[in-house]
Structure 1
């Protein structure tokens, strides 16, 4: 039982307790920066097994904010510094610039981001009124095959050396509706929402699946997860509003004890991201375009992945009429950072867990935290 961690009382044993230390001790090291000799993939190469074992996502049945295209999303924004100063972009040969962003402008915006300065994508209209570009109202998955024609997912494959390969599937939504607390809310809303899952392979076979939830997430043995329609595709359930990812339907408590704060998942529309995606590889901080489902679409989008500002508006000021405060969180907070800010070169499958090699893990160094992070099978690395 892992009820003490605030998870579901009847959760299966593999829930959170996912990566057995003993299961990995005879396998080679996973490396964040493998040498060329240790890699098995070339730049821009997407192996077939990544698609064979790609996750499918059940959206919530009453989801108000559906997946969206990053390029179309960007066209509804301009860039600002924290003080509200607009940043002009896209200087043409005549010296003219524009305020409204294009997806290809994002790379240039990164030069303005420093340790002391952040760039914010800022909406050109009132997002509080739920415009269509925010809700993605037309992007309901096709009933027959799960495709969303106008909302490509983003696939980033990272070679971790010695036969290990990570496939990151990123799911973008224009808006995150935060949770309700004891009937009040929502709180923690933000424009722009990046969620992702990781399937970790060893020599082409899936071993571990990790799925994001509220800045942290959970890792699970691939073999223990539900597969769609008796296929190879692991099933992920996206929570109402927050889009946090879970391995089962139901109520999922998080962050606050006693189930005061919970996500909810069910079997709503089924989304198959492998039918429409942008594809890239990432090694040694270098992004290489691959071929996704639409030829050369990655090239037309430019180097947008290099953008390191926020994907959404700055937290609204306290005196803004749309803003609300609670002891738990403000109603509107900052937008998130993009995929390359999600620790893609991590060795642990878990985004925020301490970085160590899975093999040869020094269990004693965990000290007082070891009981939290170890199940009967040993090393977990998923509690954040």
Structure 2
């Protein structure tokens, strides 16, 4: 999700499983044009990250570049997929919870492809496979993530659709987040040392939590 203010991008939200990461737009990597952000998709997953490599996400809102238990893998800077080439665009009306095709997109389509689907946006189920049922075999137990390290499941049911993603939320991060929201000003991981190991003059002063209005304006 990209938050705009006066037509300019200000913040980005990278959705990752039950959590995610918020960054100011200037901090994220861009393509050769210097305008479009680069997003790395996790292998076999729906999670999105601002950097390639391994991403440990066992602890909510603490994505670190090493492997522990629950890990997403994103490829190095390989071939770029441009979603604009195959995307549909919609306008969401919060108080009605309705979607409509973006007018300029409809007018630009050839007459043979003028129909823009909307029904799938109202689907209230899971967008993916169901969570595995409990079994006694060691293979299933491994797939479910049952181990001595904890009882949390590695593989659960697929994510919910856009109607469940708080599209009209006022902050960059979801309202029901069960962790302290952070608006990151850098892709540097040194802020983690400050958060978890105390004051070490890393970069934390620039990364204190700020509110973000619906307009995209940052507030103390």
Query: For this structure pair, what is the TM-score category when the shorter chain's length is used for normalisation?
Result: 0.5 to 0.7
How far, CA to CA, are the matches of 2:127 and 2:50 in structure 1? 26
**1:337 and 2:149 matched:** no
**1:379 and 2:209 matched:** yes
How far, CA to CA, are the matches of 1:245 and 1:204 in structure 2? 24
> Do the aligned residues in 1 keep the contact of 2:14 with 2:22 (CA within 8 Å)?
yes
1:279 — aligned with what? Answer: 89
Larger strand proportion of the pair: 1
Q: How many Å apart are 1:273 and its aligned residue?
A: 0.7
1:289 — aligned with what? Answer: 101
Encode CA deviations 1:186-214: one digit per residue, 9 max, x unaligned. Answer: xxxxxxxxxxxx11111101111111112
How far, CA to CA, are the matches of 1:331 and 1:260 in structure 2? 12
2:37 — aligned with what? Answer: 234
Point out 4+ residue stretches in structure 1 off by more than 6 angstroms.
none
> Do the aligned residues in 1 keep the contact of 2:99 with 2:118 (CA within 8 Å)?
no
2:73 — aligned with what? Answer: 264
Encode CA deviations 1:5-50: one digit per residue, 9 max, x unaligned. Answer: xxxxxxxxxxxxxxxxxxxxxxxxxxxxxxxxxxxxxxxxxxxxxx
> Do the aligned residues in 2 keep the contact of 1:314 with 1:334 (CA within 8 Å)?
yes
How far, CA to CA, are the matches of 1:281 and 1:313 in structure 2? 28
2:22 — aligned with what? Answer: 219
Give the secondary-structure state (helix, strand or coil) at the position aligned to 2:32: helix
Larger radius of gyration: 1
**1:303 and 2:119 matched:** yes
2:57 — aligned with what? Answer: 254
Compared CA separation, residues 243 and 347, structure 1 to 2 (3 A): same
1:78 — aligned with what? Answer: none
Compute the TM-score of the two structures, normalised by the length of structure 1: 0.38
Encode CA deviations 1:211-255: one digit per residue, 9 max, x unaligned. Answer: 111221111111122110143101111122224211122232212
Give the secondary-structure state (helix, strand or coil) at the position aligned to 1:251: strand
How far, CA to CA, are the matches of 1:381 and 1:244 in structure 2? 24
CA RMSD of aligned residues (A): 3.3
Encode CA deviations 1:79-121: one digit per residue, 9 max, x unaligned. Answer: xxxxxxxxxxxxxxxxxxxxxxxxxxxxxxxxxxxxxxxxxxx
> Do the aligned residues in 1 keep the contact of 2:17 with 2:159 (CA within 8 Å)?
no
Compute the TM-score of the two structures, normalised by the length of structure 2: 0.63
Compared CA separation, residues 269 and 376, structure 1 to 2 (3 A): same
How far, CA to CA, are the matches of 2:176 and 2:153 in structure 1? 27
Aligned length: 168
**1:348 and 2:171 matched:** yes
Which runs of 5 or more residues in structure 1 are unaligned?
A: 1-197, 355-370
Encode CA deviations 1:152-175: one digit per residue, 9 max, x unaligned. Answer: xxxxxxxxxxxxxxxxxxxxxxxx
> Do the aligned residues in 1 keep the contact of 2:30 with 2:38 (CA within 8 Å)?
yes
